[in-house]
Amino acid sequence: MESALDRKTFLNPTIEVARQLLGQCVVRRFEDGAICIGRIVETEAYTVGDPACHAFRGISKANAAMFGPPGHAYIHINYGLHYCLNAVTQAEGIPEAVLIRAIEPLENAALMYRNYTGDIVSEDIARQEKRIGAGPGRLTKALQIDKHFDGVDLTDSESPLFLISGATVSDNEVTTTTRIGITKAADYPWRFYATASPFVSRRAIRVK
């Protein structure tokens, strides 16, 4: 397995980090030693001064992790139902982050499928199931990520949740478009996805 991403990666401009995370991988290590790996295929950037950013109105108990060190997880609850995984970017005290919107299962997809549906299927069948990766709430359910992972160090390979290097996604393989599922600053072109991936949560017209 590749080593965890370097913390310096998360000190690059947040919009660049969102693009750079495409093709990198999420690793979830369970208490029994089982490991699931998924390739990141869709992201969104959220920055200081952005009305859609959870830290726009300042620090709170819920968003405190965004103000913490770069390369750590910020977990928020969407509509009171779904947990969402974000990677904190920028220096401590600057609340910016990248939302990981979708992953493509690479390893132990069968466990992800069981976590998501409660059913047992073969690895091959599980890897074709879009429900276990195509959406921020879906991937966290499949990987059993909840608020307990808020603040976890994503650059520590001993962590139960971390990010590693994956495949390179070239610019001509990426669609840049506006963010989705929000009402404020919905016209910002800060969403990136691997154009050919079947695990993208929602497709849109390319912005650039």
- Give the model confidence (pLDDT) of 136-153 as tens digits: 999 999 999 999 999 999
Q: Does residue 164 lie within any of the structural domains? A: yes
Q: Does residue 207 lie within any of the structural domains? A: no
Phi then psi for residue 76, to 5 deg, are: -120, 160
Domain hosting residue 140, numbered range = 7-194
> Which DSSP helix (H) or strand (E) runs through 109?
helix 109-117
Q: Does residue 17 lie within any of the structural domains? A: yes
Q: Does residue 204 lie within any of the structural domains? A: no
Q: How far apart are CA 101 and CA 119, in angstroms?
A: 24
The pLDDT value given to residue 84 = 97
Q: Does residue 32 lie within any of the structural domains? A: yes
Q: For residue 136, give both structure tokens.
A: 């921020």
Q: How many domains does the chain have?
A: 1
Place of tokens 């478009």: 177
What CATH number is attached to the domain comprising 91? 3.10.300.10
**HEC profile for 33-100?**
CCEEEEEEEEEEEECCCCCCCCCCCCCCCCCHHHHCCCCEEEEEEECCCEEEEEEEECCCCCCEEEEE
The pLDDT value given to residue 75 = 98
- Give the model confidence (pLDDT) of 94-139 as tens digits: 999 999 999 999 999 999 999 999 999 999 999 999 989 999 999 9
Q: Does residue 144 lie within any of the structural domains? A: yes
Q: Does residue 2 lie within any of the structural domains? A: no
Q: For residue 67, give both structure tokens.
A: 């103000």
**pTM here?**
0.95
Q: Does residue 142 lie within any of the structural domains? A: yes
With left for phi above 0 and alpha for psi between -120 and 50, is residue 194 left, alpha or beta? beta
